[in-house]
Amino acid sequence: MAEKIKLLVVFLIMALGVAGFYVLSGSPTVVRVLSVLAGIGLAAVAAYFTESGRTFYGFSQESMAEARKVVWPTRKETLQMTGVVILFVVVMAIFLWGVDSILFWLVKLVMGGSE
């Protein structure tokens, strides 16, 4: 039950941040955006003290550790693969244009249209 109350508090803090955006409608946009960001920040701090918040924080730490282990492609490999993808897209576009043109011509022929 305490967990649900904590999550309700998190939701209310976030809602207050968003409500501040509308309450401060006469203020500069920067102040209004800071109101929302403050609400989100305070809600994140409050969420950390919940069981699901701690679980999420642990998950995000593990995800960052796994991302560091990834072997990222070199610039040359990236450019080569990008070239292959662009070439494939162009070839498929030409192929689909040809198929569409042939089907259009066949339908026109069947329907009795003039060339």
Residue 99 pLDDT greater than 70, yes or no = yes
pLDDT on residue 96: 98
Q: What is the pLDDT of residue 4?
A: 87
The DSSP element (H or E) to which 19 belongs, if any, is helix 2-23
What is the reported pTM? Answer: 0.54
53-73 tens-digit pLDDT:
899 999 999 999 999 999 999
